[in-house]
Amino acid sequence: MLIKEIDYGTPAPEQPRMCGSSKCSCAAGVTPEVHADTPMVTLEIDGNSVTVPQGTSIMRAAMQMGTQIPKLCATDSLEAFGSCRLCVVEIEGRRGTPASCTTPVEAGLKVWTQTGKLAKLRRNVMELYISDHPLDCLTCAANGDCELQDMAGAVGLREVRYGFDGANHFDKAKDQSNPYFTFDPTKCIVCSRCVRACEEVQGTFALTIDGRGFASMVSPSEAQPFLESECVSCGACVQACPTATLMENSIIEAGQPEHSVVTTCAYCGVGCSFKAEMRGDEVVRMMPYKDGKANHGHSCVKGRFAWGYTTHKDRITKPMIRAKITDPWKEVSWEEAINHAASEFKRIQKKYGRTSVGGITSSRCTNEETYLVQKLIRAAFGTNNVDTCARVCHSPTGYGLATTLGTSAGTQDFDSVEEADVIMVMGANPTDAHPVFGSRMKRRLREGAKLIVIDPRRIDLVKNPHIAADYHLALRPGTNTAMLNAFAHVIVTEGLVDEDYVRERCDLAEFDRWRAFAADPKNSPEAVEGFTGVKAADVRAAARLYATGGNAAIYYGLGVTEHSQGSTTVMGMANIAMATGNIGHNGAGINPLRGQNNVQGSCDMGSFPHELTGYRHLSTDAVRQQFEKDWGVTLDPEPGLRIPNMLDAAIDGTFMGIYIQGEDIAQSDPNIQHVIAGLSAMECVVIQDIFLNETANYAHVFLPGSTFLEKDGTFTNAERRINLVRRAVKPKAGYADWEVTMLLSNALGYPMNYTHPSEIMDEIARLTPTFQNVSFELLEKSPVQWPCNDKAPEGTPIMHMNGFVRGKGRFMITEYIPTEEKVGPRFPLLLTTGRILAHYNVGAQTRRTDNVAWHPEDVLEMHPHDAEDRGIHDGDTVSIASRVGETTLRVKVSDRMQPGVVYTTFHHFGTGANVITTDYSDWATNCPEYKVTAVQVRPTNRPSEWQSQYYKQREATRRIEATAAE
Amino acid sequence: METLIRMANQIGDFFNSYSEVEAVPEIAIHIRKFWDPRMRKAIMAHIADHQGEGLKPRVLQALKSMPS
């Protein structure tokens, strides 16, 4: 069945998210649809009594009782506009025919939605619209999904008295510049829904109505083609368009979908809900799902459009093996591949010892799949050498927040941002890396919330249409901890501590010590200015704003964690949030914006070498014994190797076999040459992936993976929300990833016999106190945020509400210790890395879509002064070298950068940005220091030696032996 | 070995602002909780063979206090 959400025409009236009134019965617990103390209004529509919250439009009230008033310019994702005049109604005792979309309900109103007068008016309106609309309905791409067509039917349009010979727009040319949708101005009715969607929902303001009267036209930027305009291709305009004016190319090609499956996007950690709209076994459109709790019906270019990789010709659908990485791959049966992998792991363990093998779980796979991989490693391999991608991104978040607050996750749900008064974004770039949440944030900022950005680079959020950061503290990379200590200094010395909050909730001895530390003049903004490079006065003002501006929320990303002091900086954020009373209520909190779709989940599922599900250290006997009993094995009580330790151990000859599911460490991890040396030293590398990724160049067994569209399971997003992933199509290689892990486990002699991922979740719930009440049955009703147990049966949108999870909040001393990676005469610049909107992580997925139209290659951003000094011009090819490696790429000269700092992304293997990044890492978690690398940049005209060599080797290690025709 | 020494010293550095009485056990606990046995063994061997050369005093003290 094709799911079509009800369109109520106008948004629901705003209500406080959490109940502020003690009289309201919903004061605690999950946000209700309508608060018990919301004033309600009763009116009569077409003779029927209806009661709705105050502020509801007549149009919405009518739809709530099931009566659809004809409409064209209204849709409930946008504020009422009142332009089409189709939704007029009559109200007893009032003159004229008011638009029902812009008229709010009042008690006792008597409204008529269908009268002879209204019918005549509506027909007249439709007649005018249709007189300038091509009548090619039968061959139109919107046929079957066109609101204009529906309305012509609804109002009973039977003739167009004006004829079709007059002035019209039939000869306007299509704009097909965007690879994903077509703009056909001949079909435009100038309802402005697209323009408003771009403003209100996405917040890009790329569209406008150009011209006046009959010449009015939708125009991207200043009459540019869509692709060249400011449009970010989020799809909100296409979704809002009531006609075929803005239409997905996939629908133009395929036709309308006939059924849909609600699932969760497999790109970033926002975890948007989508309807995979299908024709038979083929996806033809991904539509954001209005009831999605994370996205509320919005999307970005990746989730909405960049799903073509799922059927890309590069998908590997047959298992493959080879003896040496210099051999070509040989396609084999599943049985042969699995048995070969299992026998290799057994052989290696026999030769080098039990702990000589391990694996990496995937932050892109489901919770159930991740759980199974770590279970296989602990139970079937009998070692704790398991780690996950979070090692290289948010492991410091886990460590820092667990130490200070008691739990390894963000404190809020996304909706909380709607009540933030001060938003502090540190080392994150939400409009590029978490675009749908970025749009929510921008909406709140346009409503007047204040903004502090702490980032070396001028990210888009700093200056955006109708948004300007109050403070952009453009610090030198590597000085985050010093910056937060300066914030702490201001808070402590200027009397901005929320003393009551601290006294009630925090460990006072630790607090007193921290207060003395923060007050030390060495931490003052003036003292740190010399190395942070940020004016003390700005830091003081920003700290005052954070401490006194109302609800203050911190959102942060890898610009915080991927440093030698990543964990320290996370603790620094917890310190200032606790000191100012900004944890445990709506609108505040500390929120990691997590990178991959299920990186929160992969951490929750016990992917780290030292802990089991729910962040419980495996040296705790009671915890370990619970698993031992359930799994029927004895578990090693010692922590295992982390990813960087595995690679070191491989080079030392003590770690010789690895099972990697959905992870590409040979592109994503730092100091690639070191990674490659580690992988090459191993005797058996098993890769499970949808493509031959870069790591597979060093593999001996390849097990084809399945995409998110091909399996059931759950992803947990950055707000701890567990969303269902539902299978829309068959796995291309025959098995979903969880089934492949079972095959391998069974071949290793440890039986796994699940028939559905829901059974795996039941096991997780049984073994994990924070997941106690989670089941697929519950998630079918509504996705929940963990902890979800008897204490919080409907989940926990906001954590630490009645005290911290660890008991008393623990302030930690966060001494600033400069990184060992220093600039010097040979390497005078600092490189920092990041992400861009069009691409995702290593780009294996997005590079295989039309998203390359926006970002075909990684570029190096450089300040004009630095470029000038080196004789480098915009667009030049340059060499960038660090102490560990060298690569080449093209330069973009940009004043987004500060002098002395350069920036690039790591989405393309050809650039290999991580050839340059170093082995330095966070002190607590070994999270690599991606964000600070001393480099030199010079003009060049050829690829680096590494690149030439790598391309050659890459070709040689990716050959697949031709199979004989059957 | 260089990597392990650096990692151990980094852990030590974090606890610089804490008193020795607190810092030494914290360093030991951290290494015990997060380091694989072969890493601990390697650094212990370094202490036995090279008197822990390169390790900062508190770190050395913490490692020596750890049960093997």
Percentage of chain A modeled with pLDDT above 70: 98
| pLDDT range class, residue A964, cuts 50, 70, 90 | low
CB of A619 within 8 Å of any CB in chain B? yes
Is the Cβ pair A639, B17 closer than 8 Å? Answer: no
Measure the CA–CA gap between B30 and A623, rounded to whole angstroms.
19
Report the run of H or E that residue A259 belongs to, with start and end: strand A259-264
Is the Cβ pair B17, A517 closer than 8 Å? Answer: yes
Tens of pLDDT, residue by residue over A879-935, are 999 999 999 999 999 999 999 999 999 888 888 888 999 989 999 999 999 999 999
Range A40-154 has CATH code 3.50.50.60: no
Residue pairs between chains A and B whose CB atoms are closer than 8 Å: 55
Task: Check residue A25 and give its pLDDT.
Answer: 64
Query: Are the CB atoms for A840 and A950 separated by under 8 Å?
Result: no
Tens of pLDDT, residue by residue over A4-43, are 999 999 999 987 766 655 566 665 555 567 777 788 999 9
CB-closest option in B17, B30, B35 to A815: B17
Helix, strand, coil distribution of chain B in percent, nearest 5: 80, 0, 20
- The chain B residues in contact with chain A (CB within 8 A) are 3, 6-7, 10-11, 13-14, 16-18, 30, 33-39
Measure the CA–CA gap between A438 and A201, rounded to whole angstroms.
11
Tens of pLDDT, residue by residue over A846-863, are 999 999 999 999 999 999
β-pairing, A463-464 vs A886-893, is: unpaired
Our CA-based measurement puts residue B7 at a distance from the nearest CA of chain A, in whole angstroms, of 6
Take residue A561 and report the two structure tokens written for it: 């964690």
DSSP string, A170-231: TTPPPB--SSSEEE-GGG-----HHHHIIIIII----EEEESSGGG-EEEETTT--GGGSS-
Question: In chain A, which residue's Cα lies nearest the Cα of B10?
Answer: A923
ipTM of the complex: 0.95
Task: Check residue A22 and give its pLDDT.
Answer: 57
Residues facing A49 on adjacent strands:
A44
Residues of A in contact with B11 (CB under 8 A): 923-924
Tens of pLDDT, residue by residue over A547-587, are 999 999 999 999 999 999 999 999 999 999 999 999 999 99
| Amino acid making up residue A340 | H
Take residue A570 and report the two structure tokens written for it: 């996370």
| pLDDT range class, residue A165, cuts 50, 70, 90 | confident
Residue range(s) occupied by CATH 3.10.20.740 in chain A: 40-154
CB-closest option in A517, A639, A820 to B35: A639
3-state secondary structure A18-68: CCCCCCCCCCCCCCCCCCCCCCEEEEEECCEEEEEECCCEHHHHHHHCCCC
Query: Are the CB atoms for A16 and A22 separated by under 8 Å?
Result: no
β-pairing, A320-321 vs A701-704, is: antiparallel
| pLDDT range class, residue A63, cuts 50, 70, 90 | very high
Where does A562-711 have alpha helices with state H? 566-579, 599-604, 621-631, 643-652, 665-668, 672-681
Helix (H/G/I), strand (E/B), else coil: A385: coil
Residues 785-824 of A with CB under 8 A from B: 813, 815, 817, 820
Task: Check residue A852 and give its pLDDT.
Answer: 93
Residues of chain B with pLDDT under 70: 68
Is the Cβ pair B14, A568 closer than 8 Å? Answer: yes
Residues of B in contact with A381 (CB under 8 A): none
Apex A190 CA angle, A188 and A192, nearest 5:
120
Residues of A in contact with B34 (CB under 8 A): 610, 639, 642, 924-925
CB-closest option in B14, B17, B36 to A639: B36
β-pairing, A886-893 vs A877-882, is: antiparallel
Measure the CA–CA gap between A929 and A567, rounded to whole angstroms.
11
Measure the CA–CA gap between A774 and A98, rounded to whole angstroms.
49
Query: Are the CB atoms for A646 and A609 separated by under 8 Å?
Result: no
CB-closest option in B7, B14, B38 to A649: B38
Residues making up chain A, counted from first to last: 966
Our CA-based measurement puts residue A639 at a distance from the nearest CA of chain B, in whole angstroms, of 5
User: How many CA atoms does the CB half-sphere of A956 hold within 13 Å?
Assistant: 11
Range A395-454+489-592 has CATH code 3.90.550.10: no
Question: In chain B, which residue's Cα lies nearest the Cα of A813?
Answer: B17
Q: Across chain B, which distance is largest between two alpha carbons, in Å?
A: 30
Range A829-957 has CATH code 3.40.50.300: no
CB of A640 within 8 Å of any CB in chain B? yes
Tens of pLDDT, residue by residue over A481-502, are 999 999 999 999 999 999 999 9
Residue range(s) occupied by CATH 3.40.50.740 in chain A: 320-393+598-785
Query: Are the CB atoms for A119 and A97 separated by under 8 Å?
Result: no
Residue range(s) occupied by CATH 3.40.228.10 in chain A: 395-454+489-592
| Amino acid making up residue A467 | I
Measure the CA–CA gap between A481 and A803, rounded to whole angstroms.
26
Our CA-based measurement puts residue B47 at a distance from the nearest CA of chain A, in whole angstroms, of 19
Among A843, A859, A842, A841, which Cα is nearest to A851's? Answer: A843
Is the Cβ pair A610, B33 closer than 8 Å? Answer: yes
CB of A921 within 8 Å of any CB in chain B? yes
Residue range(s) occupied by CATH 2.40.40.20 in chain A: 829-957
Residues of A in contact with B7 (CB under 8 A): 921, 923, 926
Question: In chain B, which residue's Cα lies nearest the Cα of A481?
Answer: B14
Task: Check residue A630 and give its pLDDT.
Answer: 97
Q: How does the average pLDDT of chain A come out, rounded?
A: 94
- Summary count for chain B: helices (H), strands (E): 4, 0
Tens of pLDDT, residue by residue over A696-724, are 999 999 999 999 999 999 999 999 999 99
Question: In chain B, which residue's Cα lies nearest the Cα of A647?
Answer: B3
Percentage of chain A modeled with pLDDT above 90: 90
Range A320-393+598-785 has CATH code 2.60.120.10: no
Is the Cβ pair B13, A919 closer than 8 Å? Answer: no
Take residue A221 and report the two structure tokens written for it: 């930027």
Tell me: cis bond preceding A592? Omega within 30 of 0 counts: no
Residues of A in contact with B6 (CB under 8 A): 820
Q: Angle at which helices A621-631 and A757-767 pack, to 10 degrees?
A: 150
Is the Cβ pair A638, B37 closer than 8 Å? Answer: yes
Measure the CA–CA gap between A427 and A927, rounded to whole angstroms.
15
CA distances from A736 to A387, A659, A662 (A): 21, 16, 12
Is the Cβ pair A923, B14 closer than 8 Å? Answer: yes
β-pairing, A422-426 vs A450-454, is: parallel
Task: Check residue A36 and give its pLDDT.
Answer: 73
Measure the CA–CA gap between A580 and A578, rounded to whole angstroms.
5
CA distances from A266 to A231, A734, A782, B49 (A): 23, 20, 19, 50
CB-closest option in A384, A619, A648 to B3: A648
Take residue A844 and report the two structure tokens written for it: 């294996």
**A691: phi > 0 → left, psi -120 to 50 → alpha, else beta; which?**
beta
Task: Check residue A29 and give its pLDDT.
Answer: 52
pLDDT of residue A966 exceeding 50, the answer is no
Residues of B in contact with A617 (CB under 8 A): 33
Take residue A250 and report the two structure tokens written for it: 């996939």
Among A796, A804, A751, which Cα is nearest to A769's? Answer: A796
Report the run of H or E that residue A520 belongs to, with start and end: none
Going by the DSSP 8-state scheme, the letter that residue A929 receives in this structure is -
Is the Cβ pair B7, A921 closer than 8 Å? Answer: yes
